[in-house]
Amino acid sequence: MLEHDVKLLERDALIEELRAAITAHLYTLGIKYLERDEEAPALTKDAIREMHALQKKEFVDRERAVLAPRLDHLIQHFANGQEVNPERVDPELVPVRTKHETGLLFRLATLLWSVPVSRGYGRRMRFLVRDRFNGKLMGIFALGDPVFNLKARDAWIGWTTADRKARLANVMDGYVVGAVPPYSQLLGGKLVCSLIGSAEVTEFFSAKYAGRRGIISKEVKPNKLALVTVTSALGRSSIYNRLRLPGLVELHRVGTTRGWGHFHIPDHIFVAMRHLLELEGHKYAKGYDYGKGPNWRMRVVRAALIRLGMDGDLLRHGITREVYAMPLADNWRDYLLGKNAKCVLNRPPLSQIAAACRERWIVPRARRRPEYRYWTREDTLRLFNCIRGT
């Protein structure tokens, strides 16, 4: 039998297997096909967690080999409740380095999130937030390149397609933001998010991307960060809702997503989809290339679904998420619309934001709910039993 005929047989068999696997998987998740203009049903947070369960398991399995042997050491970075003094909480930003203990600690902390955390795309700035008072980890946040098409964001700014293409480089997306216990019990997530608005973050961005040339455009991009977006993971967000420190930081709710994505396509099905495209010589089968943007995986899935004779709109999983935006430049809208050529940045220092967070959230919560004092490192360690297989 000729090699060409063998490939045809393999392809035809793969098509049948994939159709059956995708149908069965979506049925298991309870994902109902939605017409493009159909309103997605409201889902509880528990339902959303359940839909992400397989993706979370695959995420943990990938991290286990690296993190499990280091767990007993890394857990020492987490605080006991008795080591936290709410009135003396003093956060500092520690840039994360991939091949360093900071990188391992960041990866470990992300396992606490119900929804698996993306590695980020393109430009990326990751930070640990440490408490200077005791040296322990308070939380993490990471900023990465935003998706090109985000209707709620673009409508709120007032962008045309040309505006967005010209100035999207001045926007970053907070793809992971939050606190770890026991700081999470003290509304530490609001503190961590607020620190994105500090002068230290905009200065780090300016220094890191000064003179950098775009991968696609080949043009030197502006190195001023005018706006940051964040998106809730589980519907309504308790961290982002009503996050406002007058004169310092404010998050604006700008709308919701419509429930499109690829999280509900597990790794083993995605690998099979890529193989199908590879058998047909499709350009997307070659893998993600830096500069092609964060939508490569969605393009692969859509191309494979269409080849399978299935609707590409199966990418609509129906989980709507809240979209928020944090303006950083004084003239952020005029700058992003091209009405002003200069991005005016006058951000407050991290210490000033931290002081306001202590007064607004940390200390009052500690007085109302003193249970944080009884949290121990052993309690945190039990949260990581997943990577030990227990």
189: helix, coil or strand? helix
Residues 170 and 74 in one domain: yes
Domain CATH code at residue 121: 3.40.630.30
Are the C-beta atoms of 182 and 375 separated by less than 8 Å?
yes
Instruction: Give the pLDDT of residue 291.
Output: 41
* Buried b / exposed e along 279-293 (16+ C-beta atoms within 10 A): beeeebbeeeeeeeb
Does position 352 have pLDDT exceeding 60, yes or no?
yes
pLDDT band at 309 (very low <50, low <70, confident <90, very high): confident
Q: Whole-angstrom Cα distance, residue 269 to residue 266?
A: 6
- Please check whether residue 174 lies inside any domain of the structure: yes
Does position 253 have pLDDT exceeding 70, yes or no?
yes
Handedness of CA 84, 88, 89, 92 (dihedral sign): negative
Does position 43 have pLDDT exceeding 70, yes or no?
no
Q: Whole-angstrom Cα distance, residue 151 to residue 138?
A: 33
- Please check whether residue 229 lies inside any domain of the structure: yes
Dihedral over alpha carbons 70, 119, 122, 139 (to 10 degrees):
-70
Kindly state the percentage of the chain with pLDDT values over 90: 52
- For 269-291, what is the mean pLDDT? 71
- Please check whether residue 50 lies inside any domain of the structure: no
Report the mean per-residue pLDDT for the chain.
Answer: 83
Residues 249 and 108 in one domain: yes
The values of phi and psi at residue 92, to 5°, are -135, 155
Instruction: Give the pLDDT of residue 302.
Output: 79
Does position 259 have pLDDT exceeding 60, yes or no?
no
- What is the per-residue DSSP string for 262-295? STTS-HHHHHHHHHHHHHTT-GGGG---TTS-TT
Q: Is 373 exposed, middle or buried (0-12, 13-18, 19+ CB in 10 A)?
A: middle
Residues 143 and 83 in one domain: yes
Does position 293 have pLDDT exceeding 60, yes or no?
no
Instruction: Give the pLDDT of residue 85.
Output: 98
- Please check whether residue 156 lies inside any domain of the structure: yes
- For 193-204, what is the mean pLDDT? 98
Residues 119 and 211 in one domain: yes
- Please check whether residue 39 lies inside any domain of the structure: no
Residues 237 and 345 in one domain: yes
Instruction: Give the pLDDT of residue 6.
Output: 46
Instruction: Give the pLDDT of residue 55.
Output: 63
Does position 265 have pLDDT exceeding 90, yes or no?
no
Tell me which residue has tokens 């199908």: 276
Q: Whole-angstrom Cα distance, residue 317 to residue 299?
A: 15
Domain final position from 315, 334, 350: 315
Residues 184 and 237 in one domain: yes
- Domain span at residue 219 reads 56-260+319-388
Higher pLDDT, 45 or 164: 164
Tell me which residue has tokens 């035809």: 12
> What's the pTM?
0.78
DSSP one-letter code for 130: E
Instruction: Give the pLDDT of residue 35.
Output: 45
Select the highest-mean-pLDDT range: 4-8, 285-289, 291-295: 285-289
Domain final position from 296, 315, 334: 315
The values of phi and psi at residue 270, to 5°, are -65, -45
Q: Are strands 171-179 and 227-231 parallel, antiparallel or unpaired?
A: parallel
Does position 2 have pLDDT exceeding 50, yes or no?
no
Residues 300 and 368 in one domain: no
pLDDT in tens, 128-167: 999 999 999 999 999 999 988 888 999 999 999 999 999 9
Lowest-confidence segment of 55-69, 147-161, 185-199, 306-320 by average pLDDT: 306-320
Q: Which residue in 228, 245, 274 sits closest to 362, CA to CA?
A: 245
Instruction: Give the pLDDT of residue 200.
Output: 98
- For 190-204, what is the mean pLDDT? 98
Long-range pairs, 202-209, Cβ under 8 A, ≥24: 202/328, 202/345, 202/347, 204/93, 204/95, 204/125, 205/125, 205/143, 205/172, 208/125, 209/123
- Please check whether residue 113 lies inside any domain of the structure: yes
- Please check whether residue 357 lies inside any domain of the structure: yes
Token code pair at residue 80:
């006991």
- For 233-246, what is the mean pLDDT? 82
pLDDT band at 116 (very low <50, low <70, confident <90, very high): low
Q: How many distinct helices (H) and strands (E) make up the chain? A: 15, 9
The one-letter amino acid at 242? R
Q: Whole-angstrom Cα distance, residue 176 to residue 124?
A: 11
Are the C-beta atoms of 34 and 259 separated by less than 8 Å?
yes
Instruction: Give the pLDDT of residue 119.
Output: 67
∠ at Cα 291 (287, 295), nearest 5°? Answer: 65
Lowest-confidence segment of 79-88, 96-105, 186-195 by average pLDDT: 96-105
Instruction: Give the pLDDT of residue 323.
Output: 92
Does position 370 have pLDDT exceeding 90, yes or no?
yes
pLDDT in tens, 203-213: 999 999 986 76
Sequence-separated (6 or more) residues with CB below 8 Å from residue 221: 169, 209, 212, 213, 214
- For 371-389, what is the mean pLDDT? 89
Are the C-beta atoms of 80 and 373 separated by less than 8 Å?
no
- Please check whether residue 377 lies inside any domain of the structure: yes
Are the C-beta atoms of 258 and 40 separated by less than 8 Å?
yes
Q: Whole-angstrom Cα distance, residue 214 to residue 196?
A: 24
Number of domains observed in the structure of the chain: 2
Instruction: Give the pLDDT of residue 313.
Output: 59
Instruction: Give the pLDDT of residue 149.
Output: 81
Instruction: Give the pLDDT of residue 5.
Output: 45
- For 169-197, what is the mean pLDDT? 96
